[in-house]
């Protein structure tokens, strides 16, 4: 009966490891939301980009140079993947039919090592995204300034 006790411990350790890793796995849609969705815009003070980039893990292992946060509802962003909210932009991308308020964070200075310092630019833009087969956004490509 002793071999089963050792095997049970190995199996338990394996299962705990799998569950722990599963907690850190995110779908492409969840990653898109973590990196680009912030609605309503978080009230974090004057250093919005510094705080949000750190909070969302976009400062590790190196500072991300540019990132855009979309201040629209999830449903309105998802709608860009449909005919009612977006249109084909070529190269498997969709452009929004209506503008979104966005904040673009740009790394200040030359170092890409934390602590990261960012400048921010809030504006109204037409977002350009890629969508998966389930009609969910999975990649932020660019945004077009509202003329």
The model's pLDDT over 77-120, given as tens digits with 9 standing for 90+, comes to 999 999 999 999 999 999 999 999 999 999 998 788 999 999 99
Catalytic residue among 32, 36, 95, 100: 36
Q: Is the pLDDT of residue 140 over 80?
A: yes
Is 37 among the catalytic positions?
no
Residues of the chain with pLDDT > 90: what percent?
76
CA separation for the pair 69, 106 (Å, rounded): 12
pLDDT of 143 reads: 87
71 is known as an active-site residue: no
| 93-96 and 86-90 beta bridge pairing | antiparallel
DSSP string for residues in 94-129: EEESS-EEEEEEEE-SS--SSSP-EEEEEEEEEEEE
Average pLDDT over the chain reads 88
- Which residue is associated with the tokens 């995204």? 129
pLDDT at 145: 82
Q: What is the reported pLDDT for 111?
A: 82
Domains and CATH numbers, the chain: 27-145 (3.10.130.10)
Q: pLDDT at residue 71 above 50?
A: yes
User: Is the confidence at residue 12, as pLDDT, over 50?
Assistant: no
- Predicted confidence at residue 5, as pLDDT, reads 54
pLDDT tens string 33-56: 999 999 999 999 889 999 999 999
Residue 88 is inside which H or E element, if any?
A: strand 86-90
CA–CA dist 126, 129 (Å, integer) = 10
Q: Which of 34, 54, 56, 139 is catalytic?
A: 139
């Amino acid at each position: 009966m002793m071999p089963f006790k050792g095997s049970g411990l190995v199996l338990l350790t394996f299962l705990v490891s799998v569950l722990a890793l599963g907690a850190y796995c995110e779908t492409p849609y969840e990653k898109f939301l973590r990196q680009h969705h912030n609605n309503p815009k978080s009230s974090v003070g004057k250093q919005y980009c510094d705080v949000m980039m750190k909070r969302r893990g976009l400062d590790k292992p190196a500072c991300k140079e540019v990132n855009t946060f979309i201040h629209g509802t999830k449903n309105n962003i998802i709608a860009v993947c449909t005919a009612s909210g977006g249109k084909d932009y070529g190269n498997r991308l969709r452009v929004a039919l209506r503008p979104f308020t966005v904040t673009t964070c740009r790394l200040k200075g030359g170092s890409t090592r934390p602590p990261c310092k960012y400048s921010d630019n809030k504006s109204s833009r037409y977002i350009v995204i890629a969508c998966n087969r389930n009609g969910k956004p999975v990649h932020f490509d660019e945004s077009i300034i509202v003329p």
